Amino acid sequence: MPTLSFEQFRASLQGAAPPPGLEPLAEALWYDGKGDWEKAHDIAQAKNTPPYCQLHAYLHRKEGDPSNARYWYNRAGTAMPKASLVEEWESLVREWL
């Protein structure tokens, strides 16, 4: 599948299903972008690698659980960003597309 641009990814949120061929981390952010935190969280729990821990951290930060988010950012080897949630989502999408 050809690589999606960020703009194409964002436009795909109008659809009923994620674009075919997305990597799981990007798929999780697609579900989060659609407002399905639970589905995104299910994907975040699938592996215990730094990128999945970072996704997990972002989701708990978005949930409003900073203590849990800090735990997962630490597991990812990064600090909680100062960026807004929207900026963090965009940054992660761009990284994982």
| HEC string for the chain | CCCCCHHHHHHHCCCCCCCCCCCHHHHHHHHHHCCCHHHHHHHHCCCCCHHHHHHHHHHHHHHCCHHHHHHHHHHHCCCCCCCCHHHHHHHHHHHHC
Domain ranges of the chain: 6-12+23-96
Using a cut of 0.75, tell me whether the model's pTM lies above it. Answer: yes
User: What pLDDT is stored for residue 1 in this prediction?
Assistant: 45
pLDDT tens digits for the chain (97 residues)?
Answer: 458 999 999 999 999 999 999 999 999 999 999 999 999 999 999 999 999 999 999 999 999 999 999 999 999 999 999 999 999 999 999 999 9
Q: Please tell me the predicted confidence (pLDDT) of residue 2.
A: 54
